Structure 1
Amino acid sequence: MDALEDTFRTLSITRRLQPSEATYILDLSLPSCASSESDSLAVCCSNYSVHLHSRETLRQVGEFQGHTAPLCGVRFSHLSPHLLFTGSADGTLRSWDVRQPGSNATQVLRSDSTHLYCSFDVSCNDRVLCAGTEQVEKEESFLVFWDARMVQDGGESGSKMGGLLGVFSESHCDDITAVKFHPQQADRLASGATDGLVNVFDLSLGGEDDALVTTCNCDSTTSSLCWTGKYFDQLLCLTHDEGLHLWDVARPESDDTLTILSSADARTLVQLPNQASLEYFVGGSWMSDEERILLVGGSNNGKLHLLDCSGSGLKFIKSLNGGHSATVRCFQWDAVAHCLLTGGEDGQLLQWKAGAEEISVGKKDSLKSISSMQLKTKAHRKQATKKDRSKLA
């Protein structure tokens, strides 16, 4: 990670987009490297809208509206830079054509009327969409699958369950807070929930019982999942109480422990300089060129900390100051432009580059009105329960 560390150590703000209204930025997405000709990036906001921005300048170039409840994420298609997916607690997944800002959704996917989604993802070949539901009834939650190729004309006018492939109903018993397809194997899927379990499925093996190949226990509620490792055969799990777990899931049938690194409070694994405060983790990302995990943490006043995560622990790289003024919710490393993008509860969208000087974009008004909204930083903090499984890490 030496070359990238040198870049990270000189990161500074190059562009700052300040909000015109009091909304949080909850998640952001870039087109994949294979579709890097697109100049768009997408963010989902706390007012249920999706904003399109210029990837280079950050200026807003469009907006999509249609969801009626909090969004649980935004994802670009892996194969098309013009196709965008969103999921929501309103019980729908929607797709949008970024070439037509302001238009209606091109596709609306639903399942049972009781299903409210709190996570979703798209397979690497764009053929399957999967969403995790909130707990429907006592000890009932569902992984719902659709064929993304079954497009409905007019979006809202199609069959309410068009494209529905089926559900998994027995692998989790509480809100499914994270769903993550493998970056290269379209049939491989990981899911995490507030029941303390993280499951790995091979969808090519058939039904739910056969498809479930590994179950790991994080003893808490899953915040995010990330496939890591040279061959993407490791799984990084972060929890809502700042736990961190790294598992080797390459050989699920092995009798050896799957655990590479595990900490109930990973903030204790690293000492920051100048008595800086590490209060939460934003997420992790696998940096393929350097074969390292980038972990981003922060403090509630907006300061960010970049960390290198390995099987031996965490290593401090760089603190980013002078950017956000509240909790940061999302980040993404843009490998094409060699910059870091971050968004958070102050409503700001920031672009960080090596040795950059800040270029103002948008308003420079006080953000106190936004920070005072104080939405819950993390929505899922239920007491984790445990299930007996034959294979717990």
Structure 2
Amino acid sequence: MYTLTNIDQHHFSGPEDVYVLEAHRTAAGLATVASDQTLSLFNPARLGAGPVTSLKTGHGNVTTLRVFDAASSLVCTAGENGSVGVWDLRQGARVAQFQAAEASILSMACSANTQTIAVGTELENHVASIHLWDVRSSPSPKATYSEVHSDDVTSLGFHPSSPTLLISGSTDGLVSVHDTTIADEDELTVQTFNHNASIHDAAFLTPTEVFALSHDETFALYDVAEERTDGNATQDFGDLRKVLGCQYVANVTTKLDGSGAILGAGAQDKQNFELVFLAKTPSNAWALDHDNRVVLPGAHGGEIVRSFCFFDDEQVVFTTGEDGNVKAWRAGN
């Protein structure tokens, strides 16, 4: 077990309580979105100095932030009015805004390789859709899928090395992998897995394996390889609240090299947040490494931690929470 120390923080204040929803790393610094409808950029070494840039997003309520190109510091935001904003954080300016959907956007994925933004919508008029947009010049629609899910599309992600593959998760309990080069929606889906619980997060873990995390914290792994066609979980970890002794899982961050993932698990009553590594064992099975978990004591008090991200070079972890804070954590000397 390793313990980190809170070394810096910034508090968002306003007439109403502010939730800091997400944080992501870019070359320009740490990007966050908050419930006061702001997109903010921080110098990660001077968090307490406040945002270097603070921009109003204009989505009604902002729901998601995704990095389009970390090296170029291009990020995307989306929200309840169905619009998407593309922002250049080096310039501190919005470079594009377009109406990507008629319904509220709940999820988004970006691929700089294919210049594509995918958005997933809330169920409205009995339809929950996935829209793909080309942002090469003026954004233009590439495809719309309206029959993949029967309820809110809560999670989207592109394959890390084959960006024409898209994974989606929904409150209908399904996680599906789609080949977006196929025009016919009936033929689009490569594989569907029934997690039997509303999906909070889903993504590619390796080139052929995916994870699914439900809103009631059940966690399982699935294999997209062609020889596995039954759609059953290859490993079912069950309810992580029991497995990890937590009350919720904020999100799961996969490692870019396919070597595993990091789960952020919190407990409000203990004012605690932990990072737990999912890695391969010598027997080639995946396992949660309880012994080497990283503990953030005090976390965000009795409030929920909404997200975490890493600045590996500086060995700093950043967290955001419903207490209005973004915090920096580092191992003690």
TM-score normalised by the chain length of structure 2: 0.89
Of 229, 252, 264, 1:296 maps to 264
Paired residues of 1:27 and 1:329 also in contact (CA < 8 A): yes
CA distance in 1, matches of 2:329, 2:257: 19
- Label 1:299 to 1:79 Cα distance change in 2 as closer, same or farther (>3 A): closer
Q: Please list, as runs of the form range in 1=range in 2, the aligned pairs for 1:2-151 lying within 5 A after superposition.
A: 9-21=2-14, 22-31=17-26, 38-58=27-47, 59-78=50-69, 80-101=71-92, 103=93, 105-112=94-101, 114-125=102-113, 127-138=115-126, 140-151=127-138
1:340-382, CA deviations, whole angstroms, 9 ceiling, x for partnerless residues?
Answer: 11101011111111225xxxxxxxxxxxxxxxxxxxxxxxxxx
- Label 1:237 to 1:52 Cα distance change in 2 as closer, same or farther (>3 A): same
Paired residues of 1:123 and 1:182 also in contact (CA < 8 A): no
1:137-171, CA deviations, whole angstroms, 9 ceiling, x for partnerless residues?
Answer: 12x111001101123xxxxxxxxxx5112200111
Q: Please list, as runs of the form range in 1=range in 2, the aligned pairs for 1:161-172 lying within 5 A after superposition.
A: 162-172=139-149
CA distance in 1, matches of 2:3, 2:69: 30
Structure 2 unaligned blocks of 5 or more: 280-284
Structure 1 unaligned blocks of 5 or more: 1-7, 32-37, 152-161, 271-276, 357-393
Q: Which amino acid in structure 2 is aligned with residue 17 of structure 1?
A: H
Q: Which amino acid in structure 2 is aligned with residue 130 of structure 1?
A: A
Q: Which amino acid in structure 2 is aligned with residue 23 of structure 1?
A: V
Q: Which amino acid in structure 1 is aligned with residue 99 of structure 2?
A: R
- Residue 309 of structure 1, CA deviation: 2.5
Match of 2:194 in 1: 217
- Label 1:202 to 1:350 Cα distance change in 2 as closer, same or farther (>3 A): same
- Label 1:164 to 1:255 Cα distance change in 2 as closer, same or farther (>3 A): closer
Q: Please list, as runs of the form range in 1=range in 2, the aligned pairs for 1:179-218 lying within 5 A after superposition.
A: 179-218=156-195
- 1:237 equivalent to 2:212? Answer yes
- Label 1:259 to 1:352 Cα distance change in 2 as closer, same or farther (>3 A): same
Match of 1:267 in 2: 241
Q: Which amino acid in structure 2 is aligned with residue 205 of structure 1?
A: I
CA distance in 2, matches of 1:177, 1:257: 20
Match of 2:282 in 1: none
- Label 1:145 to 1:290 Cα distance change in 2 as closer, same or farther (>3 A): closer
RMSD, matched Cα: 2.1
CA distance in 1, matches of 2:121, 2:219: 23
Paired residues of 1:269 and 1:313 also in contact (CA < 8 A): no
Paired residues of 2:59 and 2:82 also in contact (CA < 8 A): no
Match of 2:222 in 1: 247
CA distance in 2, matches of 1:190, 1:257: 14
CA distance in 2, matches of 1:204, 1:336: 37
- Residue 257 of structure 1, CA deviation: 5.4
CA distance in 2, matches of 1:188, 1:81: 23
- Structure scoring higher RCO (CA < 8 A, sep ≥ 6) equals 1
- Residue 56 of structure 1, CA deviation: 2.2
Give the stretch that moved more between structures: 172-181 or 207-216: 207-216
CA distance in 1, matches of 2:231, 2:147: 24
- Count of equivalent residues: 320
- Residue 79 of structure 1, CA deviation: 5.9
- Label 1:312 to 1:98 Cα distance change in 2 as closer, same or farther (>3 A): closer
Paired residues of 1:25 and 1:347 also in contact (CA < 8 A): yes
Bigger fraction of residues in strand: 2
CA distance in 1, matches of 2:108, 2:177: 15
TM-score normalised by the chain length of structure 1: 0.76
Q: Please list, as runs of the form range in 1=range in 2, the aligned pairs for 1:213-362 lying within 5 A after superposition.
A: 213-229=190-206, 232-249=207-224, 251-255=225-229, 258-270=232-244, 277-288=245-256, 291-301=259-269, 302-310=271-279, 311-316=285-290, 317-325=293-301, 326-355=303-332
CA distance in 2, matches of 1:144, 1:253: 30
1:231-250, CA deviations, whole angstroms, 9 ceiling, x for partnerless residues?
Answer: x321111111111111122x
- Label 1:110 to 1:289 Cα distance change in 2 as closer, same or farther (>3 A): closer
Tell me the secondary structure at the aligned position of residue 168 of structure 2: strand
CA distance in 1, matches of 2:145, 2:256: 31
CA distance in 2, matches of 1:136, 1:69: 17
1:101-138, CA deviations, whole angstroms, 9 ceiling, x for partnerless residues?
Answer: 3x4x32112145x3221111101415110000111212
CA distance in 1, matches of 2:116, 2:311: 25
Paired residues of 2:59 and 2:78 also in contact (CA < 8 A): no
Give the stretch that moved more between structures: 280-289 or 56-65: 280-289
Tell me the secondary structure at the aligned position of residue 254 of structure 1: coil
Q: Which amino acid in structure 1 is aligned with residue 223 of structure 2?
A: D
Q: Which amino acid in structure 1 is aligned with residue 73 of structure 2?
A: H
CA distance in 2, matches of 1:290, 1:255: 22
Tell me the secondary structure at the aligned position of residue 328 of structure 2: strand
Of 130, 134, 152, 1:175 maps to 152
Paired residues of 2:25 and 2:310 also in contact (CA < 8 A): no
